[in-house]
Structure formats: structure tokens, C-alpha cells
Structure 1
């Protein structure tokens, strides 16, 4: 992965949660699916799933698309975005100079 330090930090932060790792793994196997089906598959509530999906989407790890089913029901479909994270000392050294002041001073 080549990108900014903030982008790298955002991706690592988004993946530093077991629920989010399960979401990415499940979507990579299932492919594109809607929230209710994903929540059932993972075994978490839809509100909690939405919270984690938002974090993953903000980091660029998943994408969503709102669609209307033939019966008029709105369905939000998610899928894994193509990404690769190469985490080596050299990659970290390359990314650190581009960290913003906020990211450099953050403990979270």
C-alpha cells in the first residue's frame, strides 16, 4: 500500500477490531450482500453492524450502494473494496512524514 500516513493509520485502526475483521472476512467470502443478511451471518445486531461498517467504509475498506428492491424496500449493499496493506518498517517510515498533526498527537 502506498498512501498517506493518515490513510495507513485509518486502515490499521479500522481493522483493529475482531468484529470488523469478521465483517471483512465474511464479505470476502460471501461477496456483495445487504446489511440484514450480513448481520445474520456474523451474528451481531444491525445497529452494531452499521457502526462497524461505517468505520470500515471511512477507511476505504468496504463500499456501499443503496438500492431499491422490486417490492420497494431500500437495501444497503456492502462489499469489500480492493485493498492491500504492506506493513513493513520501510512502509511505516515512508508513511510517517505525511501524518497530519492530529494523527501524530493521537493516542487512539
Structure 2
């Protein structure tokens, strides 16, 4: 975890992965980057729902998306996992609260 994390940023990152569906997305993308349609098929999820989850994960910095052109000239949106590690312990929580600009002193 970034030592300069605030309570708000830590909370947002944790909330982004605090979903079984988003954990499944991360698990699938851990093995390989995939385009949205293939990812939706593997997860048995609609593309609209998948995009909602991918947006949360992308905003929190866990995945990144990019466009690639297929051989047939069709644009495909691929997503890949951004390597990360999160350590949650009392020291990490205390540091995040201490770095929070809205924390009372």
C-alpha cells in the first residue's frame, strides 16, 4: 500500500475490490488480458454489468483498458490487470488516517 494513502483513498481502493464479481474479474485478468466480449463470456456476465465493474476497478487503479484493432478492422477493448499489493494492518490504517487532510488533530 502506498504510504501516502489517505483514509479516503484507501477506502475507495478497498471498496473497488470488495465485491465477489470484481474479485472474479481480477482473477480472470490475472491469467491474461482479454477483450470485453471474451471476458463477459468467461464470467457469464452482461457487457453492461461488466463495464460497470471494470470502470470501478479502472478508477481505483486495478485494471487498465486499451483499444486494439482486430484483423478484420474491428476495435476491441482489452483490459489487463495492473500489478498491485495491498497490506491491511493497524499500521496501514493508522498511516492512512494520519495522512487524511480532513482528519482531526
Q: Decide: shared fold, TM above 0.5.
A: yes
Q: Is the deviation greater in 66-75 or in 91-100?
A: 91-100
RMSD between superposed Cα atoms in Å: 1.4
| 1:25 aligned residue | 27
Cα distance change on mapping 1:44 and 1:100 into 2, 3 Å: farther
Tell me if 1:72 matches 2:73. yes
Tell me if 1:16 matches 2:18. yes
Tell me if 1:34 matches 2:35. yes
How far apart are the structure 2 equivalents of 1:44 and 1:12? Answer: 22
How far apart are the structure 1 equivalents of 2:57 and 2:45? Answer: 16
| Post-superposition offset of 1:99 | 3.0
| Post-superposition offset of 1:67 | 1.3
Residue segments in structure 1 that go unaligned for 5+ positions in a row:
none
TM-score (norm 2): 0.89
Residue segments in structure 2 that go unaligned for 5+ positions in a row:
none
Which secondary structure state, in structure 2, belongs to the residue aligned with residue 9 of structure 1? helix
| 1:56 aligned residue | 57
How far apart are the structure 1 equivalents of 2:29 and 2:13? Answer: 17
Number of aligned residues: 101
TM-score (norm 1): 0.86
